[in-house]
Structure 1
Amino acid sequence: MMLRTCQVLYSQAGSPTRGWQPLSFDGGAFHLKGTGELMRALLVLRLCAWPPLVTHGLALQAWSQRLLGSRLSGALLRASIYGQFVAGETAEEVRDCVQQLQTLSLRPLLAVPTEEEPDSTVKTGESWYEGNLRAMLRCVELSRSLLKTSAPTGNILMQLKLTALTSTWLCKVLTSCIGRPGASSELSPERLAEAMDSGRDLQVSCLSTEQNRHLQASLSRLQRVVQHAQAQHVRLLVDAEYTSLNPALSLLVAALALRWNTSREGGPWVWNTYQAYLKDTHERLRQDAEAADRAGLAFGVKLVRGAYLDMEREMARLQGTKDPTQPDYEAANQSYRRCLELMLTYVSHCGSMCHLMVASHNEESVHQATKRMWELGIPLDGPVSFGQLLGMCDHVSLALGQAGYAVYKSIPYGSLEEVIPYLIRRAQENQSVLHGARREWELLSQELRRRLLGRGLRALC
Structure 2
Amino acid sequence: MKRTFYGQFVAGEDHQSIRPVVQKNQAYGVGAVLDYSVEEEAERKEMGSCMSTSEKESPGEYVHHFNSSILLSRTYFYADEVKCDQHMETFLKCIKASGGSSEDGFSAVKMTALGRPQFLLQFSEVLVKWRCFFSFLAAKQRKDGVEVLEQKLDLEQLQLIIIIKNYFPNENAPICVHMLNFFPFCILFFEQTGQLEPLLSKFTEEEERQMKRMRQRLDVLAKHAVENGVRLMVDAEQTYFQPAISRLTVEMKSIFNRDKAVVFNTYQCYLKEAFDNVSMDVELSRREGWCFGERSRAAEIGYEDLINPEYESTNRMYQRCLDYVLEEIERNKKANVMVASMNEMGLAPTDKKVYFSQLLGMCDQISFPLAQAGFPVYKYVPYGLVNEVIPYLSRRAQENRGIMKGVQMDRELLWKELMH
- Give the match for residue 161 of structure 1: 110
> Aligned pair in 2 of structure 1 residues 113, 245: CA closer, same or farther (>3 Å)?
same
Contact 1:116-1:124 within 8 A present in 2 as well: no
Is the contact made by 1:277 and 1:309 (CA closer than 8 Å) also made in structure 2? no
Query: Could you say what secondary structure the match of 1:228 adopts?
Result: helix
| TM-score of the two chains, using structure 1 as the length reference | 0.65
Aligned to 1:68: none
Aligned: 1:109 with 2:91: no
8 Å CA contact retained: 2:338, 2:357: yes
Q: CA deviation at 1:119?
A: 1.2
How far apart, CA to CA, are the structure 2 residues paired with 1:91 and 1:114? 13
Q: What amino acid is the match of 1:235? A: R
8 Å Cα contact 2:301/2:402 also seen in 1: no
Judging by fraction of residues, say which structure has more strand. 2
Partner of 1:93: 17
When the two structures are superposed, what TM-score results if normalisation uses the length of structure 2?
0.71
Does structure 2 retain, via aligned residues, the 8 Å contact 1:359–1:387? Answer: yes
Across the aligned residues of Structure 1 and Structure 2, the Cα RMSD in angstroms comes to 2.7
Q: Within the alignment, does 1:271 sit opposite 2:264 as a pair?
A: yes
Say which SS state the counterpart of residue 336 (structure 1) adopts.
helix
Match of 1:7 in 2: none
State whether structure 2 residue 379 is matched by structure 1 residue 409.
yes
Amino acid at match of 1:416: V
1:386 to 337, 343, 356: 356
Q: What is the count of residue pairs matched by the alignment?
A: 327
**Contact kept? 1:116, 1:123, Cα under 8 Å:** yes
| 1:288 counterpart = 2:281 | yes
Counterparts of 1:410 and 1:418 in 2: how far apart (Å)? 18
CA contact (8 A) 2:15 2:94 kept: no
Aligned with 1:232 (options 212, 228, 231):
228
**Deviations along 1:226-266, whole A, 9 cap, x unmatched?**
1111111111111112221111101110221121111xxx3
SS in structure 2 of the partner of residue 267 of structure 1: coil
Structure 2 residue runs without a partner (length 5+): 47-75, 131-161, 163-181, 187-199
Matched to 2:79, the amino acid is G
What percent of counterpart residues are identical? 33
What SS does the aligned partner of 2:184 have?
A: helix
- What corresponds to 1:222 in structure 2? 218
Q: Identify the residue that residue 433 of structure 1 maps to in structure 2.
A: 403
Shift in CA distance, 218/296, structure 1 to aligned 2, threshold 3 Å = same
Whole-Å separation in 2 of the counterparts to 1:440 and 1:164? 37
Q: Which amino acid aligns with 2:41?
A: E
Q: Match of 2:34, SS?
A: strand
Counterpart amino acid of 1:289? V
The equivalent of 1:23 in structure 2 is: none
CA offsets 1:356-399 (integer angstroms, 9 cap, x no match): 11111101132xxx1xx3xxxx33xx111100001100011111
| Structure 2 Cα separation of the partners of residues 354 and 298 of structure 1 | 5
Unaligned runs of 5+ residues in structure 1 are 1-76, 148-152, 188-203, 314-323, 452-461
Higher helix share: 1
- Aligned mate of 1:143, from 82, 98, 113: 98
Shift in Å, 1:123:
5.4
SS of 1:387's partner is strand
Per-residue Cα deviation, 1:389-410 (whole angstroms, up to 9, x for no partner): 0110001111101111111000
CA distance, structure 1, for counterparts of residue 264 and residue 400 of structure 2? 22
User: How far off is 1:94 after superposition?
Assistant: 1.2
SS of aligned partner of 2:314: helix
